[in-house]
Amino acid sequence: ALARVVADPAFVLAPVRPRLFGSFVEHMGRCVYTGVYEPDHPTADEHGFRADVAGLVDELGVTMVRYPGGNFVSNYRWEDGVGPREERPVTLDLAWRAIEPNQVGTDDFLGWCERIGVEPMMAVNLGTRGLAEAVDLLQYTNAEPGLATADRRVANGRTEPWDVRLWCLGNEMDGPWQMGHKTPEEYARVAEEVGRAMKRFDPTLELVACGSSNRSMPTFGTWERVVLEQAFDQVDHISAHAYYEPVDGDVDSFLASAEDMERFIDAVVATADHVAAVRGSDRRIDVSFDEWNVWYQSRFPGELGLDIRDVAPLIEDVYDLTDAVVVGSLLITLLRHTDRVSMACQAQLVNVIAPIMTEPGGPAWRQTIFHPFALTARHARGTVLRLAVDSPLVATARYGEVDQLHTVATWDETTGELVVLAVNRGLVGDLTLDLDLSRFGDLSLVEHLVLTDADPAATNTAAQPERVVPRPGDATLDDGRLTASLPAVSWHCLRLS
State yes or no: is 172 an active-site residue.
yes
Cβ-based neighbour number of residue 389 at 10 Å: 17
Q: For ligand AHR, which is the closer residue by CB, 27 or 337? A: 27
Residue at 342: amino acid letter: S
Q: Which of 450, 490, 451 is nearest to 473 (CA)?
A: 450
Q: 348: cis peptide before it, omega within 30°? A: yes
DSSP state of 318: P
Please pick, from the candidates 102, 257, 288, 348, the single residue that binds ligand AHR as defined by CB under 6 A.
348
Q: What angle do CA 68, 283, 227 make, to 5 degrees?
A: 50
Q: For ligand AHR, which is the closer residue by CB, 367 or 407? A: 367
Q: Does 108 bind ligand AHR (CB under 6 A)?
A: no
Give the strand pairing for 286-294 and 237-244: parallel
Q: Least separation, in Å, of the C-beta of 180 and ligand AHR?
A: 13
Instruction: Answer for the pair 314, 293: CB distance below 8 angstroms, yes or no.
Output: no
Q: For ligand AHR, which is the closer residue by CB, 38 or 93? A: 93
Angle subtended by helix axes 321-336 and 257-279, to nearest 10? 20
Q: Does 172 bind ligand AHR (CB under 6 A)?
A: yes
Instruction: Answer for the pair 435, 7: CB distance below 8 angstroms, yes or no.
Output: yes
Instruction: Answer for the pair 16, 413: CB distance below 8 angstroms, yes or no.
Output: no
Of residues 176-215, those binding ligand AHR (CB under 6 A): 213
Give the strand pairing for 166-169 and 206-212: parallel
Residue at 274: amino acid letter: H
Q: For ligand AHR, which is the closer residue by CB, 292 or 365? A: 292
Window 288-327: contact mask with ligand AHR (x via CB under 6 A): ---x------------------------------------
Q: For ligand AHR, which is the closer residue by CB, 71 or 358? A: 71
Could you tell me which stretch among 63-71, 75-83, 225-233, 468-476 binds ligand AHR (CB under 6 A)? 63-71
The alpha carbon of 138 is separated from its chain's Cα centroid by a whole number of angstroms, namely: 23
Could you tell me which stretch among 64-72, 159-167, 276-284, 337-345 binds ligand AHR (CB under 6 A)? 64-72
Catalytic residue among 38, 100, 224, 291: 291
d(C-alpha 374, C-alpha 61), whole Å: 6
Of residues 138-167, those binding ligand AHR (CB under 6 A): none
Catalytic residue among 133, 172, 206, 224: 172
Binding footprint of ligand AHR, residue count (CB under 6 A)? 10
Beta bridge partners of 482: 435, 477
Q: Does 453 bind ligand AHR (CB under 6 A)?
A: no
Q: Does 347 bind ligand AHR (CB under 6 A)?
A: yes
Q: Least separation, in Å, of the C-beta of 401 and ligand AHR?
A: 31
Tell me if residue 328 falls in helix, strand or coil.
Answer: helix
Query: Which of left, alpha, beta for 351 (phi over 0: left; psi -120 to 50: alpha)?
Result: left
Q: Which of 63, 148, 140, 129 is nearest to 107 (CA)?
A: 140
Could you tell me which stretch among 67-75, 76-84, 203-211, 379-387 binds ligand AHR (CB under 6 A)? 67-75
Residue 400 class from Cβ within 10 Å (0-12 exposed, 13-18 middle, 19+ buried)?
exposed
Of residues 25-44, those binding ligand AHR (CB under 6 A): 26
Q: Does 75 bind ligand AHR (CB under 6 A)?
A: no
Q: Least separation, in Å, of the C-beta of 348 and ligand AHR?
A: 6
Q: Least separation, in Å, of the C-beta of 74 and ligand AHR?
A: 9
The alpha carbon of 285 is separated from its chain's Cα centroid by a whole number of angstroms, namely: 18
Instruction: Answer for the pair 209, 160: CB distance below 8 angstroms, yes or no.
Output: no
Q: Which residue is nearest to ligand AHR (CB)?
A: 70
Could you tell me which stretch among 68-76, 250-258, 298-306, 371-379 binds ligand AHR (CB under 6 A)? 68-76
Q: Does 70 bind ligand AHR (CB under 6 A)?
A: yes
Beta bridge partners of 411: 383, 418
Q: For ligand AHR, which is the closer residue by CB, 7 or 352? A: 352
d(C-alpha 91, C-alpha 86), whole Å: 14
Q: What angle do CA 254, 247, 466 make, to 5 degrees?
A: 55
Q: Which of 168, 183, 288, 188 is nearest to 233 (CA)?
A: 188
Q: Does 171 bind ligand AHR (CB under 6 A)?
A: yes
State yes or no: is 447 an active-site residue.
no
Please pick, from the candidates 71, 358, 368, 459, the single residue that binds ligand AHR as defined by CB under 6 A.
71
Q: Least separation, in Å, of the C-beta of 138 and ligand AHR?
A: 21
Q: Does 127 bind ligand AHR (CB under 6 A)?
A: no
- Pure H helices in 236-354: 251-255, 257-279, 321-336
Window 2-21: contact mask with ligand AHR (x via CB under 6 A): --------------------
Q: Does 68 bind ligand AHR (CB under 6 A)?
A: no
Could you tell me which stretch among 57-65, 66-74, 192-200, 259-267 binds ligand AHR (CB under 6 A)? 66-74
Cβ-based neighbour number of residue 205 at 10 Å: 17
> What distance separates the 2 farthest-apart alpha carbons in the chain?
68
Q: Does 236 bind ligand AHR (CB under 6 A)?
A: no
Q: For ligand AHR, which is the closer residue by CB, 106 or 171? A: 171
Q: For ligand AHR, which is the closer residue by CB, 242 or 384? A: 242
Contact residues toward ligand AHR (CB under 6 A) are 26, 69-71, 171-172, 213, 291, 347-348
| Residues known to be catalytic | 172, 291
